[in-house]
A and B are shown apart, each in its own frame.
Chain A
Amino acid sequence: MYIFFDMSKVCRLTRMLSFGGCLNLIGRQRTPLLRTSSSVTMDALRTGSSSASMNVFDRSMKRKQKAWASALVDADKYDYLRNEVGSRIADRIFDVARTFPLALEIGCGRSHIVQHLNKETIDTLFLVDVNEKALRMTAEMDIPTHKVLADEEFLPFKENTFDLVVSSLSLHWVNDLPGSLKQINNILKPDGVFIGAMVGGDTLYELRCSLQLAELEREGGFAPHISPYTAVTDLGNLLGLAGFKMLTVDIDEIEVYYPDMFQVIKDLQGMGESNCAWNRKPMLHRDTMLAAAAIYKAMYGNEDGSVPATFQILYMIGWKHHDSQVKPAKRGSANVSFGDIGKMNELSRNKPNS
C-alpha cells in the first residue's frame, strides 16, 4: 500500500486560505484558473438561456475516465477523499432540523453521502450519475433508492419536485455551472435546500506549481495541466444568480500526504479525476516529470520525505425561496443604536424574559 494516509493524525482542517509561494511567481497565470466570472454569468442571464458558448470540459472524455476508474479492481482504494467529503456533507444535512421526504444526489459516483444517512432524514432517494457502472456498484441501503443515468447539466426532472438536492465533488467538471445551478433551483420545492461540495480555488496548487516551474525550466514555457476551478468569491455570485436564498459558503482544506508526485497523479487517475479540459496539454515529457517531482519534494516536502496535496473543498448551502423565510430587515426599521452595544448588559438585565 503506497499511500501513507492516517486520517486521525494527518487530515488537517483549516478555515484559512493558504497560498503557495509560487503563486506570486506566476501571478499572470491565475486568471485562466477562474473558470467563471460574474461578467460571463451576466451574459448568460441577459440572453435568457444557459450559455452554450461555455465549453471548458470534454464531457464524453470525462465519462470514459469515470468508467475506466470504476472498472479498476481496487477502485474503492481511491474513495478516501469522496468518503470524507461525503461524511461532512451528511453532517450538514443532519444539522438542518427537518426531514426530507424526497431527495436527489447528483454526480453520486458510488454514493458516498448516503452511507452516512438514515431513514429518519430521507424517505426516498434518487441517485443521478453519468457513469452506469458506478451506479450499479452502489451499496444496498435501507433508504428506498431509484437510480437515474443522467448528466448533471441536463437533469430530467420536473420543477418543484425535490426537498433536498445534494452534490458532492462532481460539479467541478460541469461546463455550464450557472445553468446547472439554475436547474437545481428549479427542481427544488419552495423551501427546499441544496447542499453541495465542490473542489475549488487552490486545490492541488502544489502539483500545479511544480509542473509549471518544471516546464518553464525544462521547456521554456508552460501549459495548463490542472483543470480550472471556481473561486470562492464566484461561488456566492453564482448561487445568488441561480436564485438561491440564505446562502452559506465555507471552505475546508484537506491535506493528504503521498510518498511523491507520481503517487499523487496515480491517485487522481484512480479517483476518476483526470483532466478533461479541452485546453489540456496531452504530452508530458519524462524529463519534465522528473523535474516536477524533484521540485515538488524540494518546495513542499516534509521532513519524513512525504509530500502534501491540498484539496480545497467549498461547501455551499442554498435554499429555494419561500415566503416563510427570514428576509433582511427594511431600511430605517432599526430601534436600537450601535452606540448602545456598550450597554448591552444593562439592556438584557432590564428585560428578564429575553
Chain B
Amino acid sequence: MSNSNVWLTSRERMRRFPELLAVCAKEAAVYGKCVASSGEYELKKDACGREFQALKRCFIEAAKKIK
C-alpha cells in the first residue's frame, strides 16, 4: 500500500462509521446482546457469527444507500 491517499480515504470512510452504525442499531443490539450474554467458555471465534454477518450486511447496505 504505497499510495499515501490510502490513509486519507480509509479515514474518510471511517468517519462515516458512526452514522452508519446508527442506522443498524437493531442488528447491533442483537449482536451485542449475544456477545454479552455468552459465558466465558462459550465465547470462541465466531460464537456470534450469524448475528455479526447480519450486522455487517446491514452496514454495507447502509453505506451504499447513504452516499
Contacts and interface: CB of A to CB of B under 8 A. Distances in A.
A218 interface: yes
B17 A217 contact: no
A293 B28 contact: yes
B18 A259 contact: yes
Contact of A219 (B21, B45, B55): B45
Nearest to B48: A217
Interface SS of B by simple majority: helix
Contacts of A220: 44-45
B55 A294 contact: yes
Contact of B56 (A287, A296, A298): A287
A168 to B, nearest CB: 30
A279 to B, nearest CB: 22
Interface in B27-60: 27-29, 31-33, 35-36, 40, 43-48, 52, 55-56, 59
Contact of B32 (A216, A259, A298): A298
Contacts of A298: 28-29, 31-33, 35-36
Interface string A275-302: 0000000000011011101111111000
Interface in A155-207: none
Interface residues of A, number: 28
Nearest to B47: A217
B17 A262 contact: yes
Contacts of B52: 217-218, 287, 291
Contacts of B55: 290-291, 294
A297 B32 contact: yes
A260 interface: yes
A25 B40 contact: yes
Nearest to A263: B18
A239 interface: no
B47 to A, nearest CB: 6
Contacts of A218: 45-46, 52
Interface range on chain B: under 10, 10 to 19, 20 to 34, or 35 or more? 20 to 34
A213 interface: yes
Contact of B45 (A2, A26, A217, A296): A217
Interface in A293-336: 293-299, 305
A26 B43 CA distance: 11
Contacts of A294: 21, 27-29, 31-32, 35, 55
A147 to B, nearest CB: 33
A301 to B, nearest CB: 8
A218 B22 CA distance: 21
Nearest to B41: A25
A78 to B, nearest CB: 17
Given A290-B59, A294-B55, A213 B35 contact: yes
Interface of A: 2, 24-26, 213-214, 216-220, 259-260, 262-263, 286-287, 289-291, 293-299, 305
28 contacts: A24-B40, A213-B36, A217-B43, A217-B45, A218-B45, A220-B45, A259-B18, A260-B18, A260-B21, A262-B14, A262-B17, A262-B21, A286-B14, A287-B56, A290-B21, A291-B31, A291-B52, A291-B55, A294-B21, A294-B29, A294-B31, A294-B32, A295-B31, A297-B29, A298-B31, A298-B35, A298-B36, A299-B32
- Counting from the closest, the 6 A-B pairs by CB-CB distance are A298-B32, A220-B45, A294-B28, A294-B32, A25-B40, A294-B31
Given A218-B52, A260-B22, A297-B25, 5 more contacts: A213-B35, A213-B36, A217-B43, A260-B21, A296-B32
